[in-house]
Structure 1
Amino acid sequence: MTPALIISVTFIVMLCGCMLAMSVHVLRKVQRLQERLDNDMRALRGEITAVSRGAVGLGKRVKKVQDTLQDTRRRQEDLENKDMGDVAIIHASKLALMGAPTEELVSTCGLSKAEASLLSLMAARSKAEGRHAA
């Protein structure tokens, strides 16, 4: 073998060794980067899970508030309807005390026939007690 060939082979072997060392170095860098990316992905998945659970919890709270609001509206409507019914009963009582017939109480105040009859009886009794007391 000639010295030029030995130098060339040595140079090629050294060049291959340097390339191998650089490849190993780059491979380790890529592995470290991959580990960091994996860790970041795990952290992000954890955060997404936490946010999702929070959103579900918030959704349940919003649903509960909506249900409460709906119940409150229903109660308010019931109270308003009750007040309207009370006004009708009071008006019907006054009419009954003035001697209005049962049919008029039914048509004017929107009472059932049984309610109107009861009010008429109570008015008649009240008038009778008023006469006895005087």
Structure 2
Amino acid sequence: MNALVMLLSCLLFVASLAVLFWARRKLLDIEQALQNQYPQQFIDEITALNAGSIGLGGRFLKLEKELQTLATQMDELRSQTQRNTPYAQAIMLAQKGNNVAEIMELCGIGYNEAQLIVMMHANRQAA
């Protein structure tokens, strides 16, 4: 009977070792699979982040161009505003040959101012 108990004990020990090695192998396989999966997942995430940053870079460039366009338009508007003052308009009218009364009426400036502008700028046209 002792021999039978010893034999069964040995068989159980060998079976336990076999299960232990099998479980260890499965654990290593799972660990390897996880190691292979996560780097790919990280690579995918980094690729997505890079694509997003490239998209943002393009948007920043577009916004910068729009900002430059708006700055140019503002400068043009300032220039037009300065050119469209009553005196600038009076000078243009005088260069076109309008008389003092017309310039006074159209530009809302006084007689002396209109006369001075006509004297100064009507002669430039002729010269």
5+ residue gaps in structure 2?
Answer: 104-108, 110-115
**Match for residue 8 of structure 2?**
11
**Match for residue 122 of structure 1?**
121
- Mapping of 1:47-86 within 5 angstroms? 47-86=44-83
Q: Are positions 1:35 and 2:32 aligned together?
A: yes
Which TM-score applies when normalising by structure 2? Answer: 0.71
* Partners of 1:118 and 1:98 in 2: CA distance: 9
The structure 2 residue matched to 1:98, chosen from 90, 94, 100, is: 100
Give the aligned residue type for 1:91: Q
Offset at 1:82? 2.3
Change (3 A) 1:35 1:119: farther
Offset at 1:27? 0.9
Count of residue correspondences? 110
* Partners of 1:120 and 1:32 in 2: CA distance: 100
Change (3 A) 1:64 1:87: same
5+ residue gaps in structure 1?
Answer: 101-107, 109-116, 130-134
**Match for residue 104 of structure 1?**
none
Q: Could you say what the CA RMSD is over the residues aligned between the two structures, in angstroms?
A: 2.8
* Partners of 2:124 and 2:33 in 1: CA distance: 92
Offset at 1:53? 1.2
Change (3 A) 1:57 1:91: same
* Partners of 2:10 and 2:2 in 1: CA distance: 12
* Percent identity for Structure 1 against Structure 2: 11
- Residue 50 of structure 1 aligns to a residue whose secondary structure is helix
Which contiguous aligned blocks of 4+ residues in structure 1 show a shift greater than 3 angstroms? Answer: 94-97, 117-120
Give the aligned residue type for 2:121: M
